[in-house]
């Protein structure tokens, strides 16, 4: 039997139901997080919690639990579901109220939902790399909020999917912003370049780990915008996310990146990223470079 969290309680997953007038369901009026679990332990759990609270703050929802309470609940959920390798999905919406765009006048209780999923590491793709397409970034101007409103992201990902590609690299006026569910990087002459963490992208937790790894490994990293032209002429391209880790990109819009194999800087980052996982969560059975 699997369990889920509904409004602060761990209950049978099949019993976890929300009201038809939940504002998350009707308006996407809420925020979410996806947290990776390795060896039954949350990776960068605190960082995800902090971003969750930041997203909530930016749309005026007050977390009805302390960070400690919520973390403890998630740990209990992971243990009850016997999750070793997988993800936690967690979301909070403004709550249930008669449908009206404006926020409800009286204080309503935000709805919290969380559940877990078993998920292997995408080792084959991590080893071989993935294909991508380029598409226009048609999303709103607060992509820094991890909002439930993901239509722009979904349309981009679907475009990639019908082309048999893993991810859509989005751009605004020729400047690469991010993937539909990942951050995007190029490497040129040994320098790692990625979009600054402003309102146009989600500040990835994985991105933060990668930036720290670069700094401590003397890999030069620059947070600046880069163009589609730079993308097309990069020595290496990769993406990052909670579920994809450090994922080499070997093709963009049907054109190979360099020689079409994962690059050396990407490989170094993958190795260092796995070391960071092991530091926080213990030994990994399978590694990318094995
Ligand atoms: N950009 C977008 C738009 C994302 O949705 C994500 C993660 C990222 C960047 C990378 O952020 P993290 O490194 O913190 O994961 N998206 C999550 C999701 O929706 N599923 O898995 C990860």
Q: Walk me through the domains of the chain, giving residue ranges and CATH numbers.
A: 3-118 (3.30.470.10), 123-281 (3.20.10.10)
Q: Which of 51, 127, 63 is nearest to 94 (CA)?
A: 63
- Ligand 1 binding pocket includes 150 (Cβ within 6 Å): no
pLDDT of 48 over the 90 cut? yes
Place of tokens 């969380």: 114
Question: Residue 125 and residue 249: Cα distance in Å, rounded?
Answer: 9
Tokens of 70: 């919520």
The model's pTM = 0.98
The pLDDT tens digits of the residues spanning 188-221 come to 999 999 999 999 999 999 999 999 999 999 999 9
Nearest CA to ligand 1 atom 9: 182
- Tell me what percent of the chain is helix, strand and coil, each rounded to the nearest 5: 30, 30, 40
Q: What is the mean pLDDT of the chain?
A: 97
Options 131, 146, 157, 207, the catalytic residue: 146
Neighbouring C-beta atoms of residue 189, cutoff 10 Å: 6
178 ligand 1 Cβ < 6 A: yes
Burial 262-275 (b: 16+ CB within 10 A, else e): bbebbbbbbebbbe
pLDDT band, residue 289 (cuts 50/70/90)? confident
pLDDT at residue 105 in the model: 85
How many angstroms separate the alpha carbon of residue 42 from the centre of ligand 1? 16
C-alpha 2 – ligand 1 centre gap (Å): 25
Q: Ligand 1 centre from 231 Cα, in Å?
A: 20
Cβ of 111 closer than 6 Å to ligand 1, yes or no, is: no
Q: How many C-beta neighbours within 10 Å does residue 125 have?
A: 17
Given a cut of 70, whether residue 69 has pLDDT beyond it is yes
**Residue 63 CB: number of other CB atoms within 10 A?**
16
């Amino acid at each position: 039997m699997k369990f889920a969290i509904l409004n602060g309680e761990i209950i049978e997953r099949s019993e976890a139901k929300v009201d038809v007038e939940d504002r998350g369901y009707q308006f996407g009026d809420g925020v979410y997080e996806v947290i990776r679990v390795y060896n039954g332990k949350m990776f960068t759990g605190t960082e995800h919690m902090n971003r969750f609270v930041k997203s909530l703050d930016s749309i005026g929802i007050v977390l009805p639990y302390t960070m400690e309470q919520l973390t403890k609940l998630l740990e209990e959920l992971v243990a009850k579901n016997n999750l070793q390798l997988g993800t936690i999905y967690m979301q909070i919406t403004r709550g249930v109220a008669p449908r009206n765009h404006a926020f409800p006048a009286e204080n309503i209780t935000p709805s919290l939902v969380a559940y877990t999923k078993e998920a292997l590491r995408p080792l084959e793709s991590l080893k071989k790399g993935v294909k991508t397409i380029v598409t226009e970034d048609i999303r709103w101007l607060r992509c820094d909020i991890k909002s439930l409103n993901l239509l722009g992201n979904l349309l981009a990902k679907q475009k990639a999917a019908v082309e048999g590609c893993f991810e859509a690299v989005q751009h605004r006026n020729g400047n690469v912003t991010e993937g539909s569910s990942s951050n995007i990087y190029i490497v040129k002459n040994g320098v790692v370049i990625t979009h600054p963490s402003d309102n146009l992208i989600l500040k990835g937790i994985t991105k933060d780990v990668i930036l720290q790894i670069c700094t401590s490994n003397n890999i030069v990293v620059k947070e600046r915008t880069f163009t589609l032209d730079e993308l097309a002429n990069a020595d290496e391209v990769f993406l990052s996310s909670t579920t994809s880790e450090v994922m080499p990109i070997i093709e963009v819009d049907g054109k190979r990146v360099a020689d079409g194999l994962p690059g050396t800087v990407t490989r170094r980052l993958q190795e260092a990223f796995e070391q960071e996982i092991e530091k926080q969560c213990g030994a990994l059975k399978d590694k990318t470079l094995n």
